[in-house]
Structure 1
Amino acid sequence: MPMRKFIALVGTNTTNSTNRKLLQYMQRHFADQAEIELMEVSGLPMFNKPRNMKVPDQALAMAEKIEASDGVIISTPEYDHAVPAILMNALAWLSYGIQPLMDKPVMVVGASFGALGTSRAQGHLRQILDSPEIRARIMPSSEYRVGSVLKVLDENGNLTDDKLVEHLDALFADFQRFVEISDELWHTAQFDKQNATQA
């Protein structure tokens, strides 16, 4: 079987983001299992629902890469118990007349300075991804939260907590399997696209 190709969406525009570092760690750590390409959400204009349905070229390019991928990994920080506005903005563009995430397997992860990680932000993100306009296939029971991230991420961007690494290994193995299963769930795909077009 050829190596899977995943898009890793960086859910923030923070320059020194620990969520970007988490995805970069996954990119290195799983290099022998999958090709993971990081994708930034910064640079898109503020979503304003243009009447002419004109989608920015950057969003179209992002959509093309997402559609060509086997799945998407999204890492989100938590701002006031929600996902950052810049991530919501990107998802708005990626569901306006285009549906690259529809029926696409998605894994959600997150890192934060606090002890609780990004639990509420991940729940918020799952609600967004499950909306009629997006309809991603989110891997169930797979919340991966890196709390107190500055204590477990070293200067080279590597996770130093063995239990966190083992948990991530297990979830990524499950995600690979989830992608395989999702490939077989094609019966409703045409109806999903029709309903999204009519919405």
Structure 2
Amino acid sequence: MKNLIAIVGTNSDQSTNRQLLQFMRDHFQQVARIELVEIKDFPMFNKPADKKVPECVQQLAAKIDAADGVIISTPEYDHAVPAVLINALNWLSYGIYPFVDKPVMITGASYGVLGSSRAQAQLRQMLDAPELRARIMPSSEFLLANSLTAFDDKNQLIDPDSVEMLEGLFTNFLIFIAITAQLQHAHAQNQKQAADFSWEDLHNSHQD
């Protein structure tokens, strides 16, 4: 059975993205252990010179490092991911590199009809950054639109087509995890490149 970390990509206390991850945790409990984690209490990223990472960030990094894979569910604010999720990824790539070669599945719920499609596209770009280097499952958008009316009073997804889509994508993610486990021959080098990467050095080299 796979052990997965599910990141609630918002600081809202009444988030349908949290509901979606809770549904996934319960619905897939026979094939995976899914632990929901929050990022809303992370301090504002301030790029400390000593690269001292807050304890709450270190704890999440350790959980990600130990997990078989990560699920991130993001809402969409102004066609983008929330600032709190950007903040968390900034911390999780500052002197620590738990996402390097880690399989990631992206989901999203939104009140409107687009289901966080633009935010998911942006999140893919971010997770592919030199300091993160995650392995994002390809061709796998789960877009839960009209999310305020998507769940019943027992937190079950009402639409059977949405459930069927999510089941198919989750099965694919478990296969993706297994495939990714075979692609670790360059893991140490990928971690080193993430650690060695510097936007300042890149900028200076372009000025030479």
- What's the counterpart of residue 190 of structure 1? 188
DSSP 3-state at the match of 1:8: strand
- What's the counterpart of residue 140 of structure 1? 138
Instruction: Give the drift of 1:152.
Output: 1.9
Q: Quote the Cα distance in structure 2 between the aligned partners of 1:198 and 1:179.
A: 26
1:75 aligned onto 2:57: no
Q: Which amino acid aligns with 1:48?
A: N
Of 51, 56, 60, which aligns to 1:53?
51
**Is the contact between residue 97 and residue 195 of structure 2 (CA under 8 Å) also seen in structure 1?**
no
Q: Which amino acid aligns with 2:24?
A: M
- What's the counterpart of residue 103 of structure 1? 101
Q: Which amino acid aligns with 1:85?
A: A
DSSP 3-state at the match of 1:142: coil
- What's the counterpart of residue 116 of structure 1? 114
Q: Quote the Cα distance in structure 2 between the aligned partners of 1:169 and 1:193.
A: 32
Q: Quote the Cα distance in structure 1 between the aligned partners of 2:119 and 2:88.
A: 16
Q: Which amino acid aligns with 1:80?
A: D
DSSP 3-state at the match of 2:52: coil
**Is the contact between residue 5 and residue 70 of structure 2 (CA under 8 Å) also seen in structure 1?**
yes
- What's the counterpart of residue 152 of structure 2? 154
Q: Which amino acid aligns with 2:104?
A: V
Given the two structures, how large is their TM-score scaled by the length of structure 2?
Answer: 0.93
For the pair shown, the structure with the greater C-alpha radius of gyration is 2
Instruction: Give the drift of 1:188.
Output: 1.8
Q: Quote the Cα distance in structure 2 between the aligned partners of 1:150 and 1:52.
A: 43
Which 4+ stretches in 1 moved above 4 angstroms? Answer: none
Alignment of 1:163-178 (within 5 A): 163-178=161-176
Q: Quote the Cα distance in structure 1 between the aligned partners of 2:40 and 2:115.
A: 23
DSSP 3-state at the match of 2:181: helix
Q: Which amino acid aligns with 1:17?
A: S
Instruction: Give the drift of 1:60.
Output: 0.3
User: How much identity, in percent, do the aligned residues show?
Assistant: 55
Q: Quote the Cα distance in structure 1 between the aligned partners of 2:84 and 2:168.
A: 30
Given the two structures, how large is their TM-score scaled by the length of structure 1?
Answer: 0.98
Q: Quote the Cα distance in structure 1 between the aligned partners of 2:10 and 2:152.
A: 20
Number of residue equivalences: 197
Unaligned runs of at least 5 residues, structure 2:
198-208
Q: Quote the Cα distance in structure 2 between the aligned partners of 1:160 and 1:26.
A: 13
Of 82, 92, 97, which aligns to 1:94?
92
- What's the counterpart of residue 62 of structure 1? 60
Instruction: Give the drift of 1:155.
Output: 2.0
Q: Quote the Cα distance in structure 1 between the aligned partners of 2:62 and 2:101.
A: 15
**Is the contact between residue 42 and residue 56 of structure 2 (CA under 8 Å) also seen in structure 1?**
yes
Moved more, 175-184 or 185-194: 185-194
Instruction: Give the drift of 1:189.
Output: 1.1
Q: Quote the Cα distance in structure 2 between the aligned partners of 1:83 and 1:157.
A: 24
